[in-house]
């Protein structure tokens, strides 16, 4: 939401400013921004090679922004040098014309900046704005764009001029839905290493429609559409930065695999063939963690992706992990060669599991929920929540230090008190300076910031804060969600990959709010068993106490 206001305010103020600068100056600025944005669109992929060799995940975004601002500055300077005069119009016609030109200039300027930002490896949400609110919206292409849609305005301009007045292939031919594509490129596995894939490491040996017999054999729900199978081979690579992963596994989400068709559409895979034989549906936010197999002397990950597209459409290009793409037009007639099941990922990463037992008395009749989170998150993803929490802790700390009632003599089950408030406020200040932070550090600080001057106020604030702030914050990052049974245990183990996790358990009613938190390490091929006790509580408020 903050980004929405910033964009709208910039456009309005810029249009008002240009209304007083004169129509010719506004027109020249509009031309400079248009030519700069068009140039950046046309060359950012070709000119990104120097950065691709060092930081491939930043290459496209940084190159686009640099080319745009340099070109804009040079063109504007050239206009100032070559054109010295101005157009004289009456006052109000001059302001109206200048304001109109200024509005469209602002749309191109802010739209181009937002395009460049969305190419960077940013979180899915930028300053409270996310183009798609869920994986379902991304799949159905139901965006919630910026007010006035400046980035959509810019990409539409590119589609009109590329391949026509500037020659070459139309930008929209291979990028029919660029904003959706760039958002999907950022919709990555939370704990993934590499966010980009070097072009040289992606190979597509087959891309084409499956015959009806194979569609039935694999159990693909085509439902009147043609099933396109695209086999991808991703090599591990030799040394940084020419590697597909800096770890032992290749991580991606299906959203990072995109098929562009001759019908001017972009599609995500509906599933893949497990071991090349069994259709397995996927969701766009499902984390896929594949182990590399040695095939023909190369460590690589082979997947048979299934795309469901209209019968009249044909594959054109495949994009994967932002920077790798393959033209598919020359592959349609190739023959599909069966592979051994051992050539596909064997998924040992997913053979680990976790069991949880909650030892707690006086549990309410409300369901006891459990979420599994990655142990750490980027501070950029929680900064908008941490800032007001830190500010409130600071106010409480100052009120206690000054002896201002009711904080000066408050006793709410031992919290807050001066020592704990100082500790949590200092922790909040320290966390804001970090790049990554553990949930075991973040969540106690966030909850502590909501404490009230009595138990009833604290309970009300905690429950509201948890529902409206904490849960939405964690929902996009959780790895698994379960409900504990009446004995406070999982009915069956949770399958997880080996990593460090945070286990969050909570229950709340109108008269009670309790939250437990514990970290755990899951090892490959092993079952981690943890018991959560009263010492793991970070929130415990009850009116009955």
Listed residue (42, 36, 23, 17) closest to 76, CA to CA: 36
In Å, how far are 5, 114, 366, 473 from 384, measured between CA atoms? 15, 19, 30, 10
In Å, how far are 250, 256, 289 from 292, measured between CA atoms? 7, 18, 10
Count of Cβ atoms closer than 10 Å to residue 474 Cβ? 19
**How far apart, in whole angstroms, are the C-alpha atoms of residue 68 and residue 74?**
10
Q: Cβ(325)–Cβ(48) under 8 Å?
A: no
Listed residue (532, 531, 527) closest to 514, CA to CA: 532
What percent of the chain stands above pLDDT 90? Answer: 52
Return the CATH architecture of domain 190-346: Sandwich (2.60)
Is residue 445 predicted with pLDDT exceeding 80? yes
In the chain, what is the straight-line distance between the N-terminal and C-terminal CA atoms, in Å?
39
Is residue 273 predicted with pLDDT exceeding 80? yes
Structure tokens at 470: 């904490």
Listed residue (137, 195, 505) closest to 378, CA to CA: 195
Residue 333: the pLDDT is 62
Q: Cβ(256)–Cβ(187) under 8 Å?
A: yes
**How far apart, in whole angstroms, are the C-alpha atoms of residue 508 and residue 459?**
9
Global pTM reads 0.70
What does residue 236 show for φ and ψ, rounded to 5 degrees? Answer: -70, -40
Structure tokens at 254: 């299906």
Mean predicted confidence (pLDDT) in 483-492: 90
Residue 166: the pLDDT is 41
Mean predicted confidence (pLDDT) in 109-115: 95
Is residue 191 predicted with pLDDT exceeding 70? no
Structure tokens at 503: 């286990």
**How far apart, in whole angstroms, are the C-alpha atoms of residue 45 and residue 326?**
14
Residue 320: the pLDDT is 96
Mean predicted confidence (pLDDT) in 395-412: 82
Q: Where are the beta strands (DSSP E) in 436-498?
A: 436-438, 480-483, 494-496
**How far apart, in whole angstroms, are the C-alpha atoms of residue 391 and residue 388?**
5
Domain boundaries, the chain: 2-185, 190-346, 351-542
Most confident of 26-40, 131-145, 512-526: 26-40
DSSP states along 106-117: HHHHHHHHHHHH
Higher pLDDT, 409 or 399: 399
Q: Supply the Cα-derived Rg of the chain in whole angstroms.
A: 27
Map residue 370 onto helix, strand or coil.
strand
Q: Cβ(506)–Cβ(364) under 8 Å?
A: no
Long-range contacts of 140-145 (CB under 8 A, 24+ apart): 141/177, 141/180, 143/179, 143/180, 145/179
Listed residue (347, 283, 324, 306) closest to 206, CA to CA: 306
Count of Cβ atoms closer than 10 Å to residue 184 Cβ? 27
133-190 pLDDT, tens digit per residue, is: 877 888 888 888 778 999 999 999 887 877 544 445 677 888 999 999 999 998 876 5
Q: Cβ(293)–Cβ(345) under 8 Å?
A: yes
Residue 169: the pLDDT is 66
β-partners of residue 87 are none
Count of Cβ atoms closer than 10 Å to residue 112 Cβ? 29
What percent of the chain stands above pLDDT 70? Answer: 94
Higher pLDDT, 454 or 489: 489
Q: Cβ(176)–Cβ(240) under 8 Å?
A: no
Secondary-structure percent of the chain, ordered helix, strand, coil, rounded to 5: 40, 25, 35
**How far apart, in whole angstroms, are the C-alpha atoms of residue 416 and residue 445?**
12
| Burial grade of 170 (CB within 10 A; 0-12, 13-18, 19 or more) | middle
What residue spans of 53-90 are helical by DSSP H?
A: 56-82
DSSP states along 259-301: EEETTS-EE--SEEEETTTEEEE--TT--EEEE-EEETTEEEE
**How far apart, in whole angstroms, are the C-alpha atoms of residue 150 and residue 12?**
12
Q: Cβ(282)–Cβ(288) under 8 Å?
A: yes
285-334 pLDDT, tens digit per residue, is: 887 888 899 988 889 999 999 999 999 999 999 999 999 999 998 776 66
Is residue 281 predicted with pLDDT exceeding 70? yes
DSSP states along 308-363: EE-TT--EEEEEETTTEEEE-TTTTTSPPPP--GGGS---GGGGEEEEEEE--SS-
Listed residue (39, 54, 40, 36) closest to 323, CA to CA: 54
Residue 344: the pLDDT is 95
């Amino acid at each position: 939401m903050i980004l929405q206001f910033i964009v709208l305010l910039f456009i309005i103020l810029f249009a008002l400013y240009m209304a007083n600068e004169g129509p010719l100056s506004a027109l020249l600025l509009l031309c400079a921004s248009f030519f700069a944005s068009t140039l950046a669109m046309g060359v950012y992929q070709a000119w990104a090679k120097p950065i691709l060799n060092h930081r491939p995940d930043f290459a496209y975004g940084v190159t686009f922004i640099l080319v745009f601002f340099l070109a804009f500055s040079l063109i504007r300077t050239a206009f100032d040098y070559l054109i010295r005069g101005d157009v004289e119009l009456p006052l109000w016609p001059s302001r109206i014309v200048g304001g109109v030109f200024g509005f469209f200039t602002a749309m191109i300027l802010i739209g181009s900046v937002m395009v460049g930002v969305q190419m960077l490896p940013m979180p899915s949400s930028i300053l409270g704005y996310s183009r798609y609110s869920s994986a379902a919206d991304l799949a159905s292409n139901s965006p919630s764009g910026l007010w006035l849609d400046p980035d959509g305005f810019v990409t539409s301009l590119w589609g009109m001029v590329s391949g026509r007045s500037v020659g070459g292939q139309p930008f929209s031919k291979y990028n029919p839905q660029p904003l959706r594509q760039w958002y999907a490129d950022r919709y990555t596995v939370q704990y993934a290493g590499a966010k980009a894939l070097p072009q040289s490491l992606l190979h597509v040996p087959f891309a084409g429609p499956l015959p009806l017999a194979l569609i039935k054999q694999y159990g693909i729900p085509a439902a009147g559409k043609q099933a396109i199978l695209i086999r991808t081979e991703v090599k591990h690579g030799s040394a940084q930065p020419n590697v597909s992963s800096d770890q032992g596994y290749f991580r991606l989400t299906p959203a990072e695999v995109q098929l562009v068709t001759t019908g001017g559409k972009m599609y995500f895979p509906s599933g893949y063939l497990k071991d090349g034989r069994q259709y397995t549906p996927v969701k766009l936010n499902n984390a896929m963690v594949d182990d590399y197999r040695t095939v023909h002397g190369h460590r690589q990950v082979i997947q048979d992706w299934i795309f469901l597209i209209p019968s009249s459409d044909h594959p054109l290009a495949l994009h994967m992990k932002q920077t790798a793409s393959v033209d598919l037009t020359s592959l349609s007639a190739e023959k599909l060669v069966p592979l051994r099941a051992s050539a596909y990922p064997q998924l040992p990463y997913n053979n680990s599991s976790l069991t949880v037992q909650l030892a707690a008395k006086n549990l309410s009749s409300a369901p006891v929920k459990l979420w599994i989170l990655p142990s750490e998150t980027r501070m950029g993803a929680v900064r908008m929540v941490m800032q007001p929490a830190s500010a409130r802790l600071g106010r409480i700390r100052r009120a206690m230090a000054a002896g201002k009632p009711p904080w000066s003599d408050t006793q709410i089950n031992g919290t807050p008190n001066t020592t704990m408030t100082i500790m949590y406020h200092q922790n909040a200040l320290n966390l804001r300076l970090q790049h990554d932070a553990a949930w075991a550090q973040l969540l106690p600080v966030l909850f502590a910031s909501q404490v009230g001057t009595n138990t009833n106020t604290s309970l009300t604030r905690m429950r509201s804060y948890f529902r409206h702030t904490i849960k939405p914050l964690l929902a996009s990052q959780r790895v698994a969600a379960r409900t504990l049974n009446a004995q406070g245990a999982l009915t069956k183990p949770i399958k997880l990959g080996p990593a460090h996790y945070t286990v969050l358990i909570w229950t709340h009613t109108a008269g009670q709010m309790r939250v437990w938190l514990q970290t755990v390490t899951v090892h490959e091929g092993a079952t981690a068993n943890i018991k959560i006790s009263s010492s793991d509580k970070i929130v415990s408020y009850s009116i009955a106490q």
